[in-house]
Amino acid sequence: MHPITIDNLENENFLNLINQYDPLQLIAIVDDNTAPFLETIHQITDLNIDAIQLPAGEQFKNINSLAGIWKDLTDNHFRRDGLIINLGGGVISDIGGFAAASYKRGIDFINIPTTLLGMVDAAIGGKTGIDFFDFKNQIGVIKQPKGVFCDVNFLKTLPKEELLSGFAEVVKHGLVNDKKYFEYCTSTPIENLDWNKVVKGSIAIKSNIVKADPDEKGIRKFLNFGHTIGHAIESHYLEIGNPILHGFAVAKGMIVESKLSVEAGLLSEDEFIQIENTLTKLFPKVSVKENDIPSIIQKMKNDKKNHTDAINFTFLQSIGKAVYNQTASEESIAKALFIC
Ligand code: GLY
């Protein structure tokens, strides 16, 4: 696993790493929202680092944007010994990491996540990739960055709903691995949370899991809880031209997958009710119309997490304890999607 620094960017780890590279072989990947943060990097490093700027949004995490990055790197004669600096949220670390992993058969990159989702999930653990047609993260590789630098000061600029979207991954970490962490995070009003503590807590959970299973052969699948349903819902809304935030789709996914965990005889009804009440209070409701269910189930059938014809899930045995490689019938999935 890569080193992770949770501190402000002035931390010496960041400067030490940047100083290992030829200053002319540094390039940042940013989006319209994070381009202003280049000034922060400039002030800290005293370098004017060139940047490739993408429009902001999941709908741009695609092959066209990736080809644009490859072209800019090629036009600038960017060398194999250079460093890509991904400065942004999950879209930037996913696509920028994949561009780095594929350009000239792989060059170094670091992630500077600027969103909560990036800090607690997307930037950590080396998953990189793009969406393909309507399938989320369909094309990509696992390649570890040289380092990840999480500065919670960036969160001050984040719109409330983006913060909440990232918070779904925080809640997931508690649900799959640590009941006390789940209770701390969900019993404190979001505006009173200590973000340093939350980011540290989530990163500790995620990085322990990724260290034990970087290639997702086993326990890394715990982190997919809520995502089989969540990704399918997110892809569906993207396809119909009405994108919803990742975390809101995952929150719905966690409720539905908790219900399926009860049906599978794993989770108690009482804990399901606790989870449903908590998530319903925290996140906006995502409704699924009966007519949309076949298309959502079709997307789950194409999910890369499946390794047989059956749809693959991570379920809960209790709050804080997950179990991977579970399945459910299409009828149960349809019913749970409709009633939850
Ligand atoms: N987002 C889940 C993982 O990195 O495995």
For residue 58, report the distance from its CA to the centre of ligand 1, in Å. Answer: 17
CB 332 within 8 A of CB 263: yes
Q: Specify the pLDDT at position 159.
A: 95
Check whether residue 114 and residue 190 sit in a common domain.
no
Check whether residue 145 and residue 168 sit in a common domain.
no
Number of domains in the chain: 2
Report the DSSP beta bridge partners of residue 132. 135
- Domain boundary among the residues 138, 157, 176 is at 157
Q: Specify the pLDDT at position 170.
A: 98
Q: What is the CATH number of the domain that holds 198?
A: 1.20.1090.10
| In the predicted structure, residue 134 carries a pLDDT above the cut 80 | no
pLDDT, tens digit, for every residue of 197-213?
A: 999 999 999 999 999 99
At 238, is the pLDDT very low, low, confident or very high (cuts 50, 70, 90)?
Answer: confident
| In the predicted structure, residue 255 carries a pLDDT above the cut 90 | yes
Owning domain of residue 110? 4-157
Catalytic option among 58, 136, 162, 169: 169
Structure-block tokens of residue 69: 């990055």
Percentage of the chain lying above the pLDDT 70 cut: 100
Check whether residue 116 and residue 251 sit in a common domain.
no
For residue 122, report the distance from its CA to the centre of ligand 1, in Å. Answer: 7
Mean pLDDT, to the nearest integer, of 227-248? 93
Q: Specify the pLDDT at position 221.
A: 98
- Domain boundary among the residues 157, 179, 208 is at 157
Structure-block tokens of residue 173: 């970490």
pLDDT, tens digit, for every residue of 324-340?
A: 999 999 999 999 999 99
Report the DSSP beta bridge partners of residue 51. 28
Owner of token pair 């984040």 = 158
Check whether residue 170 and residue 152 sit in a common domain.
no
Check whether residue 169 and residue 151 sit in a common domain.
no
Check whether residue 24 and residue 151 sit in a common domain.
yes
Q: Specify the pLDDT at position 177.
A: 98
Pocket of ligand 1 (CB under 6 A): 121, 125, 127, 220, 223
Q: Which stretches does DSSP call E strand in the chain?
A: 4-6, 26-31, 50-54, 83-88, 108-113, 127-132, 135-142, 147-150, 313-318, 321-326
Check whether residue 23 and residue 43 sit in a common domain.
yes
Check whether residue 172 and residue 274 sit in a common domain.
yes
Angle at 213 between CA 236 and CA 253, to 5 degrees: 25
Check whether residue 17 and residue 126 sit in a common domain.
yes
Closest-lying ligand 1 atom to the alpha carbon of residue 224: 2
Structure-block tokens of residue 92: 């930037």
In angstroms, the CA 228 to CA 222 distance is: 12
Check whether residue 312 and residue 204 sit in a common domain.
yes
Q: Is 173 considered catalytic here?
A: no
- Domain boundary among the residues 157, 187, 207 is at 157
pLDDT, tens digit, for every residue of 257-287?
A: 999 999 999 999 999 999 999 999 999 999 9
pLDDT, tens digit, for every residue of 32-91?
A: 999 999 999 999 999 999 999 999 998 899 999 999 999 999 999 999 999 999 999 999
Q: What is the CATH number of the domain that holds 109?
A: 3.40.50.1970
Nearest CA to ligand 1 atom 2: 223
Q: Specify the pLDDT at position 294.
A: 96
Check whether residue 57 and residue 90 sit in a common domain.
yes
